[in-house]
Structure 1
Amino acid sequence: MANTLSSRASFIFLLCISGLVSGQIRYSIPEELEYGAVVGNIVEDLSRNAGELSGRNVRLVSDNRRQYIEVNLENGILFINERIDREQLCRQSPSCSISFQVMLENPSEMRRIAVEILDINDNAPSFSKDEYSLWIIEVIAPGTRLPLESAHDPDVGTNAISTYQISPNEHFGLRVQTRNDGTKSAELLLEKPLDREQQSAFYLVLTATDGGVPQKSATTRIVVNIGDANDNAPVFDHETYRTSVLENTPKGTLVIKLNAVDLDEGTHAELTYSFTSHVSRKARELFTLDSITGEVRVEGVLDFEESHMYELDVEAVDPYPMAGHAKVMVGLIDVNDNAPKIEVTSISSTVPEDAQPGTVIATISVTDADSTENGQVKCELALDIPFKFENSFSNNYKLVTSGDLNREVTPLYNISIRARDKGSPPLQTIKNIMVTVSDVNDNSPRFTQSSYNVFVMENNLPGASIFTVTASDSDLDHNGDVSYLMLENNIKYPSASPHIMIDLKSGDINTVLSFDYELLKIFQIIVQAQDGGSPSLSSTATVNVIILDQNDNAPIIVSPLAWNSSSAVEILRQSIIPGYMIAKVLVGLSSLCLKQKAQLTFSEQQLEDKPNNGEWK
């Protein structure tokens, strides 16, 4: 039967906005189905393949606290997860349904599903008592109607009470009426005049039968006692009284004052007012009827959203008793006593900072139990945030991104959703959604300077740190992890690779060899900082290493030539005048130093960095 019902699904409407498809699928199933009974197949009704379901994170989001229906992720079959009792779920409402949403991801898709719960005849009618007594006077005229106690059947529609029957007799017939709410009531109809002297009581059987298949019924005993002559029954001013009150009317407020008259005199005209058995227990909790004055007053808390109208059957009874009957129709006037309700279904509480505008964050459903303008709701977001609403269908919205996100500027958004109705005064509800912006690798490492000058004394100890470069990256985690490496040098400078090395993590620059100013005065390295993102981002900085000279070479005499540590001396004539040059002494470096000096001079020319006099000494 469930398979047959699943084929009855019909599409109500289909609306597509920004990649999120919204529509409604309807199914009809009977109540009381066992666990596992098939409701329908969303794979077929959504025109999808069963293989898509597991990869798209399919889930059901129910409007009800209880998850009556689940989905099989292997084949898309919707099945009964918990037995559904229609009478418990919807009481005696003519229509009964449960609704939920099917959420799919990659891409995001949403469908609303409504499952109508059909009533089955699982309840028999019942009377509150096994026996009821009626008192009537013998002079009552044929055609007089006497209300009978109604049976109760929690089923609805054709499964509710459809008819009443009375056991065969000469004097009484039965009249069955349909009330405004669709329920049936029975009245005993006097068809033949009574004679108390012939028969003082009648014992009848009243049967209530429902319209289910198979039919179910209940019986009760009606004892009709015939009283002696009290010729006139009480009569109300109106057959039907109509009035209305605000739903927030306080307890004790007068609703209406009833009045009935009895043409008899004396004790025969002393009347007592009361509700009849047709008045529900709920109505008796909300209204009271003063038995002496006939005043109907508010007793409980009225709620327009629970019921717009109450029908009160009243009677006025004299002491013998004879009764007159009337109906009081009390309508409730709605006031704005319900704030809007906001239901949020989060699709993602985290959004990457490079998300495109239109990315769906959550779906929002807004309801207000009030009617007319009191129930019309406007949903708003705070200003100056990169998010907006897109209307999905009536009172349902999608929260989507509307601008660029930057985690380094705003890593977290506390989004306030405000729903305000149009009542007077208006009521509002505020609900907050926390959305975290996740990091993407959109920032390169940054050095504190584009170039650095480092001064190092020659004859340094190998392995010592001469400088530390530092670069920062504002991204998170591995996107912000910075590592350092040394690139090939600029061709204008001698290679530094034999002399130094750089630590990958700390950026420490360490010497490998000892520097010699006479061999190398300056060199340049290019340091690259790169992050751990994919793809990684990088930047570079220049480090100029300048070698400082130490006095580590003694002078030597190169002219005149020495022999055995002595220089040859020319013998002078006695006639030489003062100031005559005897010899010229040249002081310089060793031949090795001279060769190295030539190499240094070449380097200095490359650097194009000579002293003002154009010579290095």
Structure 2
Amino acid sequence: MALLRRDSLVTGQLLRLVLLHTAWEVGSGQVRYSLPEESKHGTFVGRLAQDLGLEVSELVPRMFRMVSKGRGDYFEVNLQSGVLFVNSPVDREEVCGQSPLCAIDLEVIVDKPLRIFHVEVEIQDINDNAPVFSVNEQNLSIAESLTLPGSRFPLEGASDADIGTNSLLTYKLSPSENFIVEEKTKEKSKSLVLVLKKPLDREDIPAHHLLLTAIDGGKPELTGTVQLVITVLDANDNAPVFNQSVYQIKLLENAANGTLVIKLNATDMDEGINKNISYSFTSHIPQNIRKVFRIEQNTGEIRVKGNIDFEDINLFEIQVEAKDKGNPPLVGHCKVMVDILDVNDNAPELAVTSLSLPVPEDAPPGTVVALISVSDRDSGDNGKVTCSIPPDLPFQLVSTFKNYHSLVLAEAVDRERVSEYKILVTARDEGAPSLSASSSILVPIADVNDNAPAFPQPVYTVFVKENNRPGAHLLSVSASDPDLRENAFVSYSVVERSVGEQQPVSSYISVHSESGHIYGLQPFDYEELQVLQFQVSARDAGFPSLCGNVTVQLFVLDENDNAPAVSAPGSGRGSPGPELVPLSAGAGHVVGKVRAVDADSGYNAWLRYEVQEARAAGPFRVGVYSGEISTTRALEESDGPSQRLVILVKDHGEPALSATATVSLSLVESPQAVKWDSRQRVGSEGPLVDMNVSLMIAICSVSGLFVLVIVVYVGLRCHPGPEVMCGPGKATVVCSSEVGSWSYSQRQSRNLCVGEGTAKNDLMVFSPNFPNFAENGEKETPKLCGTVG
């Protein structure tokens, strides 16, 4: 019958609580539900996803999970509906004991981003425990006649594992003319006594058998019973009496074995053997008290004999009896209440319940790295715990709920500066002296592609001789990237540009993608290209990839690979015939000139003229650097009617290259022919000079205008980019000879536009390294050799 009543009560409370479950609250991120204990599997607790503000569809993608710290898996969440339901029945008495408030704390964790919610499920007590007596039978001995009505005899009460009204007990004694039961509450203690209403008569009834029933306050109420066996004694009429019925004692936990708790004293008015008293614990005292305390039989001293732990039991209620040695013996009773005082003997406990590692180096401040829970079994200030980490770290602790802390990122981190952090988390209580505990968390920093490859220098300069072998290694460039793995894997490529007449840079050079070696794809020709400027790009393999550029300036060095080219000889008339020389010509008379050009530059284009067969030159000589053919003495008839000179033209390269020119000279006697020729040459000299001056002015004007147009054009072409290779243009190398005349070397000149597009001509400066003397013996002065654009 009691079981049926109990089941109906559980069902009623369950239905009522399911319909009226506690509304959730958001304070400090906490949701609270209420649930009666012993609810069956599948019982609805609450719509957890909805109450937390989460969409049901995002529970699985965000890795929704629930953790119950040290309480077992009593609850489960349906990921399809977001409903929290009972996984296994909860026995409140098993989980929380006699604590007035019983709640199970749940942690709900979701990722992307990481968030932590705290859910508290309050377990409500139901009346599922009946009152229980420690023994089935209690024995009392009461002397007849001498025991007066109103005498009181302590009884051991029942205990109820429930709390609240379900544990409030009332007692009922089976009908008796001699006895009633009374219950009194004093301070923290409840006393149950058997009161004598009417004197006993042993001859009438030697023993009384009564049934004591304990009834709790639940609905339906549950009961427990114990059998009272009262033996009526004869004779000894004075029982020992304590000077107090209840003793209040305070004792520190962890008191050493043998520590004196209290010394009791009882007196007996009888004489002789009936006055001798022995002390003992009552027979129904709990076993846990007997493990912790002992009492001296003769002195009444109560001493510690076991470990006292405030966190296990903070109040001991010791029933003591003093028995005389009369026949029959009489007994006096008292109660010793021992309050245990807390000592700071438990260090805080640290637990890292969730980690989100590694931390990307581009993670924003406020990113949650770890969830840390702290606890301390002590109470009061001894149980108050503060949590800290060392300063000067880019992390901070944020208190989230009760004893939970979040380790969050306080400022930006850089893996290239610090690749990992070892964080020592310290928990310290407020006891005196305080106790602490620590735990180390290793936080690695994940690499992000935030560093572009960098070259050690902004510009590489290399000098390469022309006519290089195709595929020859020219130089190597190298860039470094402080990132990791693919973010630091660098590949090289050339930045495509046009060179000259729309020739791509890649047709001249190639860059090995892994090593950065630069190779020449074709031989360079100094006469076509003097400077090649290009950019090499270094790109990492990150996502997105980053790159850095470096400028390479390749200067082509001239080699003597062009022999002098001789133009048609003559004295300026433009006639292909022999040069006419009057026999009357004196020493130093210029009869003609050999003109030659060399496509090379510098010393390789510096030409020297000499007669190939000096013996056959007769009265003629050739200017070493001018190429002018002149007489060395006055001509004679014996010199013959004609002369044939082979002029050798050599450059100053190593090895020197040369060419020859044959000049025919005819000696004439007719003054008229010579005069005519002279008139032709001398008479026209004035007009020719005038014509040449006018021609030079016109040419300079046109050339100046042309150069201005070219400069403007090149400036516009060079302005958009940092560097542009400009096309080839004609330039004339003008070198002064040692005799004061000029020789001309036609070659191709290529201009280089740098920066804002300023064009620079290739300037060649050299002077002979040996002296030469004119015929008059004076030393000739070397002159500047340059480029005329």
| TM bucket, shorter chain | 0.7 to 0.9
**Correspondent of 1:192 among 177, 186, 198:** 198
Query: 1:398 maps to what in 2?
Result: 406
1:266 to partner: Cα distance: 1.7
Corresponding residue for residue 376 of structure 1: 384
Which of residues 163, 166, 170 in structure 2 aligns to 1:163? Answer: 170
Does the 8 A contact of 1:7 with 1:40 survive in 2? no
Structure 1 residue aligned with 2:51:
45
Q: Distance in 2 between the 1:36 and 1:478 partners? A: 51
Task: Kindly state the Cα deviation for residue 384 of structure 1 after the two structures are TM-superposed.
Answer: 0.8
User: What residue number does 1:143 align with?
Assistant: 150
Deviation (angstroms), 1:105: 4.0
> Deviation of residue 531 (structure 1)?
2.7
Q: CA–CA distance in 2 between the matches of 1:42 and 1:395?
A: 22
Which whole-Å deviations, capped at 9, do the CAs of 1:25-45 have from their partners, x for residues lacking one?
222222223333222221332
Q: 1:610 maps to what in 2?
A: 763
8 Å contact from structure 2 (residues 24, 51) kept in 1: no
**Alpha carbons of structure 1 residues 311 and 188: separation in structure 2 relative to 1, 3 Å:** same
> Residues 575, 3 of structure 1: CA spacing in aligned structure 2 closer, same or farther, 3 A cutoff?
farther
Matching residue's letter, 2:247 = Y
Deviations 1:423-453 (A, max 9, x none): 2222122222222222333222101211111
Aligned to 1:18: none
Deviation at 1:604, TM superposition (A): 5.6
Taking only aligned residues, the RMSD between alpha carbons, in angstroms, comes to 3.4
Corresponding residue of 2:776: none
Q: Which of the pair has more CA radius of gyration?
A: 2
Is 2:439 the partner of 1:431? yes
Larger relative contact order (C-alpha < 8 A, sep ≥ 6)?
1
Match of 2:315 in 1: 309
Consecutive unaligned residues of structure 2, counting only runs of 5 or more, are: 1-10, 571-575, 606-727, 732-745, 753-758, 766-783
Conserved? CA contact 2:135–2:284, under 8 Å: no
1:538 is matched by which residue type in structure 2? C
Q: Secondary structure at the match of 2:514?
A: coil
Q: 1:346 aligns with which of 336, 351, 354?
A: 354
Post-superposition Cα deviations, 1:248-287, rounded to whole Å, max 9, x if no partner, equal 3211100110011111112212222122356433222222
Provide TM-score, normalisation by structure 1. Answer: 0.87
**1:408 Cα offset (Å):** 1.1
Larger deviation, residues 80-89 vs 286-295? 80-89
Contact 1:464 1:511 in 2 (8 A): yes
Distance in 1, Cα, partners of 2:250 & 2:730: 116
Aligned sequence identity (%): 45
**Deviation readout 1:293-319 (Å, 9 max, x if unpaired):** 111111222222333332222111223
Which residue matches 1:601? 748
Residue-by-residue CA offset, 1:380-434 (whole Å, 9 max, x unaligned): 2211112223343554433322223212111211122222223222212222222
Residues 9 and 25, structure 1, Cα contact 8 Å, conserved in 2: no
Query: Is 1:5 matched with 2:17?
Result: yes
Which stretch of the first structure deviates more once superposed, 440-449 or 550-559? 550-559
Query: Deviations along 1:327-350, whole A, 9 cap, x unmatched?
Result: 112122222222223343435233
Counterpart amino acid of 1:505? E
1:501 to 2:510 alignment: yes
The alpha-carbon deviation at position 374 of structure 1 amounts to: 2.6
TM-score normalised by structure 2 residue count: 0.69
| Contact 2:750–2:762 (Cα < 8 Å) also in 1 | no
Does 1:56 pair with 2:46? Answer: no
1:297 aligns with 2:298: no
Aligned mate of 1:69, from 71, 75, 79: 75
Query: In the superposition, relative to structure 1, how do residues 93 and 423 fare at CA in structure 2: closer, same or farther (>3 Å)?
Result: closer
- The separation in 1 between residues aligned to 2:71 and 2:137, in whole angstroms, is 42
Is the contact made by 2:71 and 2:95 (CA closer than 8 Å) also made in structure 1? no
Q: Deviations over 1:192-218 (max 9, x none)?
A: 111112222222233334444444444
Residues 107, 8 of structure 1: alpha-carbon distance in 2 compared, 3 angstrom cutoff: farther
Three-state SS of the structure 1 residue aligned to 2:307 is coil
User: Does 1:440 pair with 2:444?
Assistant: no
Q: Are residues 512 and 144 of structure 1, via their aligned partners in 2, closer, same or farther at CA, if it must alter by over 3 Å?
A: same
Aligned equivalent of 2:534: 525
How much does 1:72 deviate? 1.7
The answer to whether 1:270 aligns with 2:417 is no
Looking at structure 1, the residues matched to 126 and 187 of structure 2 have their Cα atoms a distance apart, in angstroms, of: 23
- 1:201 corresponds to 2:207: yes
* Aligned counterpart, 1:84: 90
Aligned residue type for 1:516: D
**How many matched pairs?**
604
Q: CA deviation at 1:233?
A: 0.9
Shifted more, 261-270 versus 79-88: the winner is: 79-88
Q: Please give the per-residue CA displacement for 1:572-591, whole angstroms capped at 9, x wherever unaligned.
A: 88887776667655555599
Q: Amino acid of the residue matched to residue 498 of structure 1? A: S
Could you tell me whether the CA contact under 8 Å between 1:444 and 1:537 is conserved in 2? yes
Match of 2:468 among 435, 460, 463: 460
Aligned-partner Cα distance in 1 for 2:303–2:280: 13
Please name the residue that 2:3 is paired with.
none
Distance apart, 1:236 and its partner CA: 0.4
Distance 1:122 1:464 in 2: 96
CA contact (8 A) 2:428 2:435 kept: yes
Contact between 1:364 and 1:397, CA under 8 Å: does it hold in 2?
yes
Q: Is the 8 A contact 1:518 1:597 kept in 2?
A: no
Contact 1:150 1:278 in 2 (8 A): no
Matching residue of 1:539:
548
C-alpha distance in 2, partners of 1:95/1:590? 106
Say which is worse superposed, 380-389 or 251-260, in terms of deviation: 380-389
User: Which runs of 5 or more residues in structure 1 are unaligned?
Assistant: 16-21, 562-566
> In structure 1, the residue corresponding to 2:50 is in which secondary structure?
helix
Rounded to whole Å, the distance in 1 between the matches of 2:170 and 2:364 is 65
Whole-angstrom distance in 2 between the partners of 1:302 and 1:429: 23
Q: Which amino acid aligns with 1:602?
A: S
Q: Distance in 2 between matches of 1:382 and 1:453?
A: 51
CA contact (8 A) 1:490 1:525 kept: no
Provide Cα deviations, 1:116-143, integer angstroms capped at 9, x if missing partner. Answer: 2223343444444443322111121112
Deviations 1:536-561 (A, max 9, x none): 33221111122233444445655559
SS in 1 for 2:408: strand
Distance verdict in 2 for CA 1:34–1:463, change over 3 Å: farther
* 1:115 is aligned to 2:121: yes
Q: Structure 2: how far apart are the matches of 1:514 and 1:488?
A: 19
Whether 1:510 aligns to 2:519 is yes
1:435 match: secondary structure: strand
Is the contact between residue 479 and residue 538 of structure 2 (CA under 8 Å) also seen in structure 1? Answer: yes
Separation in 1, partners of 2:579, 2:114: 108
Give the 3 Å change call, closer, same or farther, for CA 65–414 of structure 1 in structure 2.
farther
